[in-house]
Structure 1
Amino acid sequence: MTPPTPAGPTLIGSVRRAMRLLEAVAEDPSRSTAKHLARRTDIPIGTTYHLLRTLTHDGYLHRDRGRYLITAATARLGGAVPEQAGARDLQNWLDSLRDQTGAAIYYAWYDEGEVRMVGRSSGPGTPAVEEWADFRRTAHAHAIGQCLLSQLDPDARRDHLARHPVEPLTPYTVPDTDALLRKLSRLRRGHAVQEREEYAPGSVCAAVPITVGTVPAALALSLPMVRADLLDPLSHHLRRRLETAFMSHSFGVRL
């Protein structure tokens, strides 16, 4: 007797769940913790941990400070899936940009309603701006924060400013929320945001918007005020270097 023909293909549930996890990691590497991935994919947390351990053991993911990231092996399998840089790769990249520009370099995300400084690179000849006022609550005053705020939708921007009101840090800080919103509205999409002594006296900064998955991010540089004449050309140089870098390498970000 001939066995009945199945109505459709046999679907292996664990394989489908593993693929959903890989897709979620590739789409949003900045928040790819086990708990976040479980919520995003609607996979029970126990099953998520089991699948992540298996995928990591077999080389399809690697774990970095609590986050799970796509490996080169998975990127080669997927072709279009970007290879995620580990912490060492990111630091090497920031150091390279510091040497190319002769300026301190910063990399930040806007994650779950807050500014998060992810990495920086400075040196004896390229000192970083001292964080004398918490970067998270002073986004209105520094180029990184202004760049991140410019990428938010109006509701998210208002929510942030309600939690972290505009306050004067120097004589050059935007005086109030309306002035800040006017400045942000004049920014051209994809172009650098600049500030001169708004956060710290004696320092000028510029930040270029980039995106990590769906997360707003910024790459920035700072210079002492005595080198302020270099801010414009270095801002353009940073943008060009980003375009070149992301045409040949992927660090989980895009312009």
Structure 2
Amino acid sequence: MTAEPTLIGSVRRALHLLDAVGASERPVPAKVLARSVGLPLPTTYHLLRTLVHEGYLRKLDDGYALGDQVSELCQRTTLHAFLPRTRPALRALRDEMRGAAYLSLYSDGDIKLIDIADSPAAPSVDLWVGVHESAHATAFGKCILSGLDSDGRRDYLSRHRLADLTPHTITDRQVLEQMLVRCGDVFRDREEYLLGTACVATPVRAPGVLGAVAVSLPARRLGSAPLQSLHRTARRVSRALAV
């Protein structure tokens, strides 16, 4: 006989409220929500205040609507839907190149790190500065920037400061633009993001998708990195994203 799972009642009630708000095309008053989910009104108000505080709901004059946190969650869910198709290729790349492997995508005007395949023998880089602040200093960020058209790249760079992360970081926009043109289909970061660490990346492309696969390595190993493994993985990931 299978034991019943232990469920947290307050979490279930909050989720039911979210469902009720999401099912309506218009803001829903608290009294209507209380009736629709079968909760006492004081309990409903308590849960609604919590959901508003956390950004999952917004309180308007005529009721409650979904908040920004729900939109961000939906966006992340869409991006993460790729993972079952792409993760095996990243893990194989990690093992072949003996370095942590990364998948990043351009989404809604920003460069987002979607997945990392690492291990004790191939640890990932300490991401002490967020990806959205450091695209100019990472191989995968520069790879994606190079794939944007001139207007898209100009827009991105106008919204992101070229922060000086190490003595090797490119902080001059003109120098960065020239480097993006020269790199071809392989992009490198030699201690630009973190001293002692290097990264190599190549583009991932599918209909409606612009991204990059990358591997981080000790800087001393950058020159011997087997780029054929990187290119093969990029092709595998591109096919997976096109499905």
1:194-220 residue CA offsets vs partner (Å, 9 max, x unmatched): 110011111010111011422210000
1:210 touches 1:253 (CA, 8 Å); kept in 2?
no
Corresponding residue of 2:218: 224
2: CA distance, partners of 1:242 / 1:159: 26
Alpha-carbon shift at residue 90 of structure 1 (Å): 2.5
Does the CA contact (< 8 Å) of 1:64 and 1:87 recur in 2? no
The reply to whether residue 193 of structure 1 matches residue 193 of structure 2 is no
Count of matched residue pairs: 172
1:149 aligns with 2:160: no
- Contact 2:79–2:114 (CA under 8 A) maintained in structure 1: no
Could you tell me which runs of 5 or more consecutive residues in structure 2 were left unpaired when the two chains were aligned. Answer: 1-23, 26-73
Q: How does 1:1-255 map to 2 (within 5 A)?
A: 66-67=77-78, 87-188=83-184, 191-231=185-225, 234-243=226-235, 245=236, 250-253=239-242
Alpha-carbon separation, structure 2, partners of 1:137 and 1:104: 21
After TM superposition, give the deviation of residue 64 of structure 1 in Å. 11
TM-score (normalised: structure 2): 0.63
Relative distance call for 1:100 and 1:87 in structure 2 (3 A) is same
Q: Are residues 237 and 155 of structure 1, via their aligned partners in 2, closer, same or farther at CA, if it must alter by over 3 Å?
A: same
- Structure 1 alignment gaps of length 5 or more: 1-44, 47-62, 70-84
Instruction: Pick the structure with greater CA Rg.
Output: 2
C-alpha distance in structure 2 between counterparts of 1:133 and 1:169, whole Å: 9
Whichever residue aligns with residue 221 of structure 1, its letter is V
RMSD in angstroms over aligned alpha carbons?
2.7
C-alpha separation in 2, matches of 1:169 and 1:87: 30
Q: CA deviation at 1:166?
A: 1.2
Partner of 1:32: none
